[in-house]
Amino acid sequence: MKVFRFRTVSSTQDAARKLVEKGVKEGVVVAEIQTSGRGRISRKWHSPRGGLWLSLILRPKVVPTYCLRLVLISGLAVVKAIRKVSGLNALIKWPNDVLTDGRKICGILIESETVNDLVKYVIVGIGINVNVKLEDLPPEVRAEATSLSEKLGREVSVEEVLKNLLKEFETFYKLFLKGDTGWIDEYRKVSYVLGKNVCVSSEDGSTICGSAVDIDEYGRLMLKLEDGTIKRFGYGEVTKVRI
Ligand code: BT5
């Protein structure tokens, strides 16, 4: 994948979109600093120097339902890359956070455009706190976040993380394009939520709690509710996790 490098951008998502408009088919945008990094539903993603801030430009010929799988394979690629370069026990908090020791070390954001029910392009944004100093994050974020350098007590090569991440991603992306869901087994093993009692908050403000029993073939989180019924979530935020 071709790498487009920038020092400072508003958001690598915006830079990627501009490249898409110029006709770039596939590639990865990497920046050292983002001045307006974003998370889901207009949340801020703090992106000081030291992090790996990137956006993948992809053009899979799929229906939008499959985009959730892309979020999940991206998380899996991040987990494998982090484990490889640091040995840390990274886990995925469905759908888009990667945690170490319960603290957020990476967030993933997917943005796409659809034409006639087919995805025209997808931009997968991945932010990893590689050498981010926690004092460079606002206090309320710092309390729940960590970075590789913070955990290891030494700096880690951002390039090394990038190289491993792209390698892992390409392997899973090939499976994704073939419709092969063999990666789900691997995903289950590194899930932070499966087997636990969790609550999922949705954008409409509702929160539903239950036991996280599995991930289905579309990447949806399956909760077993108190009355025994199974509810599937394609979107949402896991707010409470109890063993
Ligand atoms: C996410 O949203 O976690 C998606 C983050 C995606 C960031 C990447 S960086 C490259 C690309 N370009 C962008 O502009 N974005 C993508 P969400 O699940 O909504 O979580 C957002 C929340 O994470 C915030 O409200 C904070 O609480 C927390 N947060 C913000 N910055 C953080 C950081 N650097 N480390 C850990 N947590 C952070």
CB of residue 50 inside a 6 A radius of ligand 1: no
Say whether both 9 and 69 belong to one domain.
Answer: yes
Residue identifier of the C-alpha nearest atom 36 of ligand 1: 145
Say whether both 155 and 234 belong to one domain.
Answer: no
Say whether both 212 and 133 belong to one domain.
Answer: no
Distance CA 198, CA 128 (A): 25
Say whether both 167 and 214 belong to one domain.
Answer: no
Say whether both 65 and 123 belong to one domain.
Answer: yes
Domain boundary among 171, 189, 207: 189
CB of residue 148 inside a 6 A radius of ligand 1: no
Over 90: is that where the pLDDT of 162 sits?
A: yes
CATH number of the domain where residue 219 is located: 2.30.30.100
Say whether both 176 and 225 belong to one domain.
Answer: no
How confident is the model over 163-208, as pLDDT tens digits? Answer: 999 999 999 999 999 999 999 999 999 999 999 999 999 888 899 9
Beta carbons within 10 angstroms of residue 52's beta carbon: 26
Q: pTM of the entire structure?
A: 0.97
Tokens coding 50: 């030291």
**Is there a contact between 112 and 67 (Cβ–Cβ < 8 Å)?**
yes
Instruction: Count structural domains, the chain.
Output: 2
Say whether both 224 and 161 belong to one domain.
Answer: no
How confident is the model over 229-240, as pLDDT tens digits? Answer: 999 999 888 988
Distance CA 57, CA 36 (A): 19
Continuous segment of H or E residues that includes residue 200: strand 197-201
Distance CA 88, CA 91 (A): 9
CB of residue 37 inside a 6 A radius of ligand 1: yes
Length of the chain: 243
How confident is the model over 17-47, as pLDDT tens digits? Answer: 999 999 999 999 999 999 999 999 889 999 9
Residue identifier of the C-alpha nearest atom 20 of ligand 1: 39
CB of residue 141 inside a 6 A radius of ligand 1: yes
Mutate to test the pocket of ligand 1, among 28, 45, 56, 203 (most ligand atoms within 8 A of CB): 45
Distance CA 200, CA 237 (A): 5
Which domain range does residue 230 map to? 197-242
**Cα 45–chain centre separation:** 12
Distances from the Cα of 161 to the Cα of 47, 126, 169, angstroms? 16, 12, 12
Tokens coding 66: 């499959």
